[in-house]
Structure 1
Amino acid sequence: MKIESLKFEGVSFSHEGQDPVIANVEFDFPMNEILWVKAEEGAGKSSLLQILAGLQMPQSGQFLINGQNVCDMSFEEFLPYRLEIGYSFDYGGLINNQTLFENMMLPLLYHKVLSPEDAKARVDEIFKIFDVTKFAHERPAHVPGRLRKLTCLLRAMVMRPQILLLDDPSVGLGQDSIYTLVDYIHQLRKEGCLNHVFISSYDEKFMNLFNYQIVHLDDGQLYFQPVDPEKRVVHL
């Protein structure tokens, strides 16, 4: 299922007892771009990414994927889209009683995307690229925080989705892992995956490793800021 459009029509969202972080927004998201989601601290960047992932539902309005309202979909109806969305949970989201390898394998096997043999080969390859094979069979509590963070990021990409949502991905990573992560995202995009990438970050140095456009979340509204690629991209 190809994802061709994402749109908010009158979308509002607030946490219980708080002012709306998204207020009656009308917005067509640019597609086939790496989008830097920028906002002040606490303005709702994480909430925006969670709505795009289908993890939060707006209190009013419509969130449309390919013209279909996600808010009206059943679990079964949304699932084909959900399988095309990768979302990073920052340091959380890993299953503590499973190894890093098992955590990476889980979505591939649960959704029967690949055979066990092909899933193992894919995860082995990813761990080799990031030079963390020796930690593959350790549980999350037994590895440094940077490895837990890295595994969360890699698990968001292991299904090779069309949409990738990353919330402060560079925080807590070592510099070598950051460069490898950027190269890996570029590689998957060249292979036809990760068509639409949304990154919430305060790390301008990290973002300048991408050719990005900017979406601002300000006072509950979304604004698009086109950026000249020649002024932003940094070649590794």
Structure 2
Amino acid sequence: MKLIMEDICHSIMETSIVEDISIQIETGKFIGIIGPNGSGKSTILKIASRILNPDKGSVQLDNYYLDQLPFKKTAQKMAVVSQETSLTFDFSVQEIVWMGRYPYKKLFQSDTAEDENIVSEALERVGLNGYENRNFMSLSGGEKQRVLIARALAQQAEIIILDEPTNHLDIRHQLQLMELVKKLNITVVAALHDLNIASMYCDYLYVIQDGRSVMSGTPENVLTKGKIRKVFGVETEVIMHPVTKKPHITYLTHI
């Protein structure tokens, strides 16, 4: 499942948020979008997932323009896991994951044994067997994120969009979550603020600065001392980690 964004522009109250963004997401790849706070990362993901409409440009999902697809069809192909989930009412874990089946349902259509198997398998894949009757709001941050990923799996989506999924998680749960997503072996697009996390898990990076894509490439090509200084305004030491074989960044001082 390929996602292509071409010449995307979006403004709020005549203030440009993103301008002329073009991003291509290849099937099965883990794509990271990085950049300083306020650079437009979340806006790009919201446009990719139809939460926002671009003022200009197009988004294509395989051979279809996104704005020409029914919303249910979009939800069958693409799932969104936000960094924060606010619920008016508390739901059980199982109820949250069952929501992933809604895009496949007609009005008043009953759930089936196949739906039940899909939900059970989704919970198993994220390691939440036995959590079915737990209240969602009682869970830890890492557990909540796993429930939301299970919901995305229940959607049987071919693309998962993650908006800063490791925010508010301790390092153990950050690594658990990223390992889980990486092992799903589906197309992933994630806005990330931790450059070392992006280096470890992403196949390809797009760097956003002031609403524009200023560079892209593999972590090895993008995460260099000079490029980090230029975009983030910090001095670093970057080495190739002897265990992960990925760039590892030590922050020294801001400029």
Q: TM-score, normalised by structure 1?
A: 0.76
**2:198 pairs with 182, 203, 207, which one?**
207
The answer to whether the 8 A contact 1:37-1:217 is kept is yes
- SS of the residue aligned with 2:51? coil
Task: Answer with 37-46 or 218-227: which moved more.
Answer: 218-227
Q: Deviations over 1:134-168 (max 9, x none)?
A: 43212223333433233223323332322211011
Task: Answer with 134-143 or 209-218: which moved more.
Answer: 134-143
Q: Distance in 2 between matches of 1:204 and 1:100?
A: 31
The amino acid of 2:199's aligned partner reads N
1:12 aligns with 2:9: yes
Q: Distance in 2 between matches of 1:66 and 1:54?
A: 15
Q: Hey, what does 1:234 align to over in structure 2?
A: 244
Change over 3 Å in CA distance of 1:234–1:153 after alignment to 2: farther
The amino acid of 2:24's aligned partner reads F
**Higher normalized strand content (fraction of residues):** 2
Rg comparison, structure with higher value: 2
**2:189 pairs with 183, 198, 201, which one?**
198
Q: Deviations over 1:26-73 (max 9, x none)?
A: 5241413211101210121111001001111012233333454434x2
The amino acid of 2:168's aligned partner reads G
Q: TM-score, normalised by structure 2?
A: 0.72
**1:118 pairs with 114, 120, 124, which one?**
114
The answer to whether the 8 A contact 2:5-2:48 is kept is no
Q: Distance in 2 between matches of 1:228 and 1:218?
A: 17
Change over 3 Å in CA distance of 1:229–1:219 after alignment to 2: closer
Change over 3 Å in CA distance of 1:68–1:226 after alignment to 2: same
**1:135 pairs with 131, 136, 147, which one?**
131
1:106 aligns with 2:99: yes
Q: Distance in 2 between matches of 1:177 and 1:116?
A: 34
Q: Distance in 1 between matches of 2:66 and 2:102?
A: 25
The answer to whether the 8 A contact 1:45-1:217 is kept is yes
Task: Answer with 32-41 or 226-235: which moved more.
Answer: 226-235
Structure 2: which 5+ residue stretches go unaligned?
Answer: 222-239, 246-255
How much does 1:82 deviate? 3.1
- SS of the residue aligned with 1:215? strand
Structure 1: which 5+ residue stretches go unaligned?
Answer: none
The answer to whether the 8 A contact 2:200-2:244 is kept is yes
Please tell me the root mean square deviation across aligned C-alpha atoms, in Å: 3.2
1:66-77 matched pairs, under 5 angstroms: 66=62, 68-71=64-67, 73=68, 76=70
Change over 3 Å in CA distance of 1:119–1:206 after alignment to 2: farther
How much does 1:22 deviate? 1.1
1:187 aligns with 2:180: no
- Work out the percentage of aligned pairs sharing the same amino acid: 14
Q: Hey, what does 2:76 align to over in structure 1?
A: 83
Q: Hey, what does 1:29 align to over in structure 2?
A: 24
Q: Distance in 1 between matches of 2:111 and 2:132?
A: 19
How much does 1:172 deviate? 2.9
